[in-house]
A and B are shown apart, each in its own frame.
Chain A
Amino acid sequence: MNNIKKIEEDSNQKTITLLPIEDVLITGTIFKELHDPYKIIPDIPVPETEEAKLLHEIQGLSIAAIDLNLYLDVYPRDAKGVELFNAVNKRLETRVKEYEDKYGALSLCGSNMKVPWSWLETNWPWLGDQ
C-alpha cells in the first residue's frame, strides 16, 4: 500500500492526501486534511499478544474502509477511491480470515465454523483484550 495516494474528486479536481494505513488506528481517519486532534494522545499500548496485535490491525483496516466508504458515498465516481477501497477490503478480508482460523469467528459471514461453535470462541468486545 502506498503511504500517500491522491484521489481526484470528479467535480473540482481537489487533491486529497491520505495517511498511511498503519496510522489510521491512531488518527481515526485516513484523510490527512481531516486529521485535527484536540490533544496529544499517548500512543495506544503495543498489544501484548499476537491475537491482540492482529485484532488491532483488523481494526485499523476497518476504519480505513469505513472512511473510504463514506467518502465514496458522496463522491461515487472517484475511480482511485474505489480502487483503494477494494485494496483495503482485500487486506481486511485476509487478516480476518487469518484471525478466524486461529481464534474463532468475528462474524457469522464465514463458512469455516467449527465444533465447538466458533462464534463462542472469541472474546466479547466489551471485555477488552483478555
Chain B
Amino acid sequence: MWMYKKYLWYPINIKKRDLKLAKVIVTQYGGPYGELGAALRYLNQRYTMPDDRSKALLTDIGTEELGHVEMLATLFYQLIGGASLEELKEHCLEAHYAQHGGEIFMTDAFGVPFTVANIGATGDPIADLAEDMAAEEKARATYENLMDLTDDPDVLAPLSYLRAREIIHYTRFKELYDEFKNQKRMLRK
C-alpha cells in the first residue's frame, strides 16, 4: 500500500510563466522516458525479481518515482499556471485547452498521450534490469536536453535534482544487474 506525504521531494517555486517550456517539459511527465513510465515500469517488474534486495530496490525506486511524477506535474502546472486564453492560443495550446481546460495531462512533447505499450516486463531479471538502466540513462539525457532549453534558475534547479536522481538509480540498478549477470555466468560453468 502507499501513503501520501504532503511535500515535494524538492522545492518548486516558479515565478515566471513559460508556456513554451511547459510544452516540452511535459514529456518527462507523460513521455516515453518520463517519470510516470518509470514508476509503473519498476512497480510492475517487482513481482518476478529473484531476491529480496531486487524486490526492495524496484519497490523503493518505483515509489520515489511517484514523487517525481508529482514534481513534473508541478513544473508543468506552475509553468502554464494562470495563462490567459490569448497566451494559450499564441503557443498553439488550443488543443490542450479544448480537451483539458486548465488541467494538466500526461503527454510527450509532441502531445502524444501517455502509453504503457513501450514498457518492458519480460519476467527475466537481467533483461528487466537492463531496461531499467537504459530508462534511467534516457531520462538523464532528456533532463540535460531540457536544461539546454531554459535559463530560468527556478526550473533548472529541480531539473538538475531530477537528473541527479537518475544517476543514483542507474548506479543501483547496475550494481544488481552486474551481480545477477555474474551469478548466471558462474552457474553455466
Interface residues of A (CB under 8 A from B): 25, 27-29, 31, 34-39, 41-42, 44-45, 47, 52, 55-56, 58-59, 62-63, 66-67, 69-71, 73-74, 76, 105-109, 119, 122-126, 128-129
Contacts and interface: CB of A to CB of B under 8 A. Distances in A.
B5 interface: yes
A45 B13 CA distance: 10
Nearest to B167: A34
Contact of B12 (A39, A71, A128): A128
B135 to A, nearest CB: 15
Contacts of A36: 167
A58 B8 CA distance: 10
Interface residues of B, number: 43
Interface of B: 3-14, 52-53, 56-57, 60-61, 64, 70, 73-74, 77-78, 143-144, 147, 153, 156-157, 160-165, 167-169, 171-172, 175-176
Given A74-B172, A126-B74, A37 B160 contact: yes
Contacts of A62: 7, 9
Given A27-B164, A73-B56, A129 B11 contact: yes
